[in-house]
Amino acid sequence: MRVTRRLRWAVIPLGIATAIGLAGCTTSQLNGFLPGFTDDGTQATNHTEMVSGLWVNSWIVLLVVGIITWTLMGWAAIAYRRRKGQRGLPVQLRYNMPIEIFYTIVPLILVLGFFAFTARDQAIIETQYDEPDACITAIGKQWAWDFQYAEQDCDDADAAVWTMGVQAQTDAQGNITSELPTLYLPVDKKIKIKLTSRDVIHSFWIIDFLYKKDMYIGKDNYMSFIPTRVGEYDGKCAELCGQYHSMMLFKVKVVEQADYDAYLDSLREAGQTGDINEAYNRLQNLPGTGATPEAEGDH
């Protein structure tokens, strides 16, 4: 009874201290110091909090396992240390069946748990919108980005508008001096992005969205989400793709629908309509594509 009381008086203050500590955490701390959140907890997309939750909860479980393991290791090192006057080897144990079973089942449960939660969240994030409000084709190239804007069908080039970008230019100090390719997205709308490459493998990464996806040659990839916060975000290529990989940067502007429509209208007025120019697509010069040997040599 006395031991139970002592435990109770130890657990209660510990629980209160833990609650107070968690209540004092900032939004950044609660989300594992990941980007993509404002001070009031507003997420960048409808999937951002799901990704951070998987990250933070995984670390909590791993830390608990680590603390238990380190504690047992320390206890064993102290409790079973060699005492003064002891000689020879300690008593040798061949095995302990309950402990063997415990150390087999617990890791198995942890692995299955991580798999189950990851598969659940990945299935949600990877579900593509069949009828998005906007379907945008993002094209990676050495070492910049092209963007083509359509409505529900990314392959409907008749009414599409586009913009072509160039790689970042810097001064002697490494400061970016050029205008970066910019992807415009309407806030609170279903967005579907078709990812493709003009040359080598790239990776499309909007940092605050906490998600990136590879851009393959000859195989289109897709990602769907809803931007939930107006603002400007940084993007980059996350796959080493050549000499100027570090300069393959872009900006993302999440704007109101009226501003998004006005931007598309400005591209139409500039004559940037129809299917995006394929003149710089190196894949068209590969053998078997119909290009003449002279054309292949030119490129």
Q: In angstroms, rounded to a whole number, what is the distance separating the alpha carbons of residues 200 and 203?
A: 10
pLDDT of residue 80: 85
What letter represents residue 152's amino acid? Answer: Q
pLDDT of residue 274: 86
The pLDDT profile of the chain, 299 residues, written as one tens digit per residue, is 554 565 556 556 656 666 555 555 787 778 778 888 888 888 999 999 999 999 999 999 999 999 999 999 999 899 888 888 888 887 877 778 888 898 899 999 999 999 999 999 999 999 999 999 999 999 999 889 999 999 878 877 778 899 998 888 888 877 887 889 999 999 999 999 999 999 899 999 999 999 999 998 888 999 999 999 999 999 999 999 999 999 999 999 999 999 999 999 999 999 888 888 766 676 665 555 454 544 444 44
Let me know: does 185 contact 206? Beta carbons within 8 Å.
no
**70: preceding bond cis by omega (within 30 degrees):** no
pLDDT of residue 10: 56
pLDDT of residue 5: 60
Of 210, 186, 206, residue with least CA distance to 47: 210
Only one residue has tokens 């910049």, namely: 144
Of 35, 22, 264, 72, residue with least CA distance to 161: 264
DSSP states of the chain as a string? -HHHHHHHHHHHHHHHHHHHHHHT--HHHHTTT-SSB-TT--BSBTTHHHHHHHHHHHHHHHHHHHHHHHHHHHHHHHHTSPPTT--SPPPP----HHHHHHHHHHHHHHHHHHHHHHHHHHHHHTPPPSS-SEEEEEEEETTEEEEEEESS-TT--TT-EEEE-----B-TTS-B-SPPPEEEEETTS-EEEEEEESSS-EEEEEGGGTEEEEE-SS--EEEEE-B-S-EEEEEEE-S--STTGGG-EEEEEEE-HHHHHHHHHHHHHTT-BSSPP-TT-GGGGSTTSS--HHHHHH-
- What's the full length of the chain, in residues? 299
Of 255, 117, 273, 243, residue with least CA distance to 191: 255
What residues are paired with 273 via a beta bridge?
A: 161
CATH of 134-275, one of 2.60.40.420, 2.70.50.60, 2.40.40.20, 3.40.50.2300: 2.60.40.420
Let me know: does 45 contact 129? Beta carbons within 8 Å.
no
Q: In angstroms, rounded to a whole number, what is the distance separating the alpha carbons of residues 79 and 73?
A: 10
Question: Tokens representing 115?
Answer: 């798999």
pLDDT of residue 238: 95
pLDDT of residue 125: 94
